[in-house]
């Protein structure tokens, strides 16, 4: 098995607010991420596809195809957007790194035609990132 | 969301990076002077030396639907601050950290010590610890032998 990773960047704004919580609770739980006007990040996304190289092409999948999928599904949907208001996949959710990575997994997983999606790693900052894996048989996702 | 997605829960691992600076000396009193020098080289310099360490703490668990989080970051920060940063930052690992009395403070041992200190984190499962001694050397430990 070979693991191929493609990296992209997008910039977006968001805020954390749960309408089921009081204003004080929102402030206490989410801190400055609850600022009503939002704030932004330069997100870095690493998408890892696992597979066997095709004997004829030597490729797990055509990187150009992966690039196009990432452009269409992620960049066009999320880059320079306000995630809470402009990305339907995140509607009704707190757009944390966990939830964005999960939404990205669900967008990409059915569109990887060769090999299989192994990991989505989303950096909110260089010091904070989330990895999303499909469930592994032991219930704990492979590394 | 497709039906396939809804029956297949995803495994989410959150990683946060922390930094501390500390000094150490690699020296085993059971070895002769020559052996210490042969094994540890300049890391055996009697006055020690220091590094800017980076610690990656990876935790996993279900995402709380109310907060969208595996764990509240403030809780993780507080726990790491208390259990790791306050213990190691700006310390001499050999002289000031009891775990390294009688144990060589290599970054392998430091990584295991940090894992053992953090594994009791109450809000999420500690998946693994990764310690960078410099930008060029790193060590990972996920428990077990």
- Rounded to two decimals, the ipTM of the complex is 0.90
Interface probe for A, chosen from B12, B17, B53, B140 (most Cβ of A below 10 Å), is: B12
Q: Which residues of A touch B129 (CB under 8 A)?
A: none
Q: Which residues of B touch A16 (CB under 8 A)?
A: 67-68
Structural domain tally of chain A? Answer: 1
Clarify whether B90 is annotated catalytic: yes
In a domain, A81, yes or no: yes
Closest CA to A108 of A71, A135, A56, A141: A71
Candidates B51, B113, B132, B133; catalytic one: B133
Clarify whether B43 is annotated catalytic: yes
How far does the CA of residue A65 sit from the closest CA of chain B (Å)? 22
Which residues pair with residue A10 across a beta bridge? A43
Determine the average pLDDT of the residues in A21-37.
Answer: 96
Active site residues of A: 33, 80, 124
Lowest mean pLDDT among A59-63, A125-129, B3-7, B88-92: B3-7
In this predicted structure, what is the pLDDT of residue A137? 43
In this predicted structure, what is the pLDDT of residue B144? 87
Query: Bigger pLDDT: A83 or B144?
Result: A83
CA angle, residues B37, B39, B42, in degrees to nearest 5: 50
Closest CA to B136 of B109, B114, B107, B104: B107
Domain, as residue range, for A18: 2-133
CATH fold for domain B12-141: Tetrahydropterin Synthase; Chain A (3.30.479)
In a domain, A138, yes or no: no
In a domain, A115, yes or no: yes
In this predicted structure, what is the pLDDT of residue B8? 63
In a domain, A143, yes or no: no
Residue of chain B whose alpha carbon sits nearest to that of A123: B15
CB B52 within 8 A of CB B17: no
Determine the average pLDDT of the residues in A14-39.
Answer: 97
- Name the DSSP letter for residue A4: E
In this predicted structure, what is the pLDDT of residue A135? 74
Q: Which residues of A touch B2 (CB under 8 A)?
A: 106, 110
Give the CATH number, domain containing residue A79: 3.30.479.10
CB A84 within 8 A of CB A90: yes
Chain B contact present for A59, CB below 8 A: no
Chain B contact present for A91, CB below 8 A: no
CB B93 within 8 A of CB B27: no
Q: Which of B2, B14, B67 sits opposite A97 (nearest CB)?
A: B14
In a domain, A140, yes or no: no
Candidates B49, B90, B95, B125; catalytic one: B90
Average pLDDT, chain B: 94
Position B1 pLDDT exceeds 60: no
Predicted TM-score of the model (pTM) = 0.91
Position B5 pLDDT exceeds 60: no
How far does the CA of residue A33 sit from the closest CA of chain B (Å)? 12
User: How many C-beta atoms lie closer than 10 Å to residue A62's C-beta?
Assistant: 13
């Amino acid at each position: 098995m070979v693991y191929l990773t493609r990296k992209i960047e997008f910039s977006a704004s968001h805020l954390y607010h749960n309408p089921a919580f009081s204003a004080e609770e929102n402030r206490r739980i989410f801190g400055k991420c609850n600022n009503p006007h939002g704030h932004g990040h330069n997100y870095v996304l690493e998408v890892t596809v696992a597979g066997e190289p095709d004997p004829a092409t030597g490729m797990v999948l055509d990187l150009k195809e992966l690039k196009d999928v990432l452009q269409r599904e992620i960049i066009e949907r999320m880059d320079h957007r306000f995630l809470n208001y402009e990305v339907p996949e995140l509607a009704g959710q707190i757009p944390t790194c966990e939830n964005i990575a999960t939404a990205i997994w669900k967008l990409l997983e059915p569109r990887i035609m060769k090999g299989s999606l192994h990991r989505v790693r989303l950096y909110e900052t260089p010091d904070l990132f989330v990895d999303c894996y499909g469930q592994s048989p032991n219930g704990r996702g492979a590394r | 969301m497709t039906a396939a997605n809804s029956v297949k829960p995803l495994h989410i691992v959150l990683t946060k990076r922390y930094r501390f600076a500390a000094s150490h000396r690699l020296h085993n009193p059971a070895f002769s002077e020559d052996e210490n020098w042969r094994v540890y080289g300049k890391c055996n310099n009697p006055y020690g030396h220091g590094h800017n360490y980076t610690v990656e703490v990876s935790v996993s668990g279900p995402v709380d639907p109310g907060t969208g989080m595996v764990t509240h970051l403030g809780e993780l920060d507080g726990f790491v601050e208390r259990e790791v940063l306050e213990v190691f930052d700006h310390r001499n690992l050999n002289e000031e950290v009891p775990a390294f009395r009688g144990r060589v403070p290599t970054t392998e041992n430091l990584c295991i010590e940090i894992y053992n200190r953090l594994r009791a984190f109450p809000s999420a499962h500690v998946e693994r610890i990764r310690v960078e001694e410099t930008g060029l050397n790193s060590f990972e430990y996920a428990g077990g032998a």
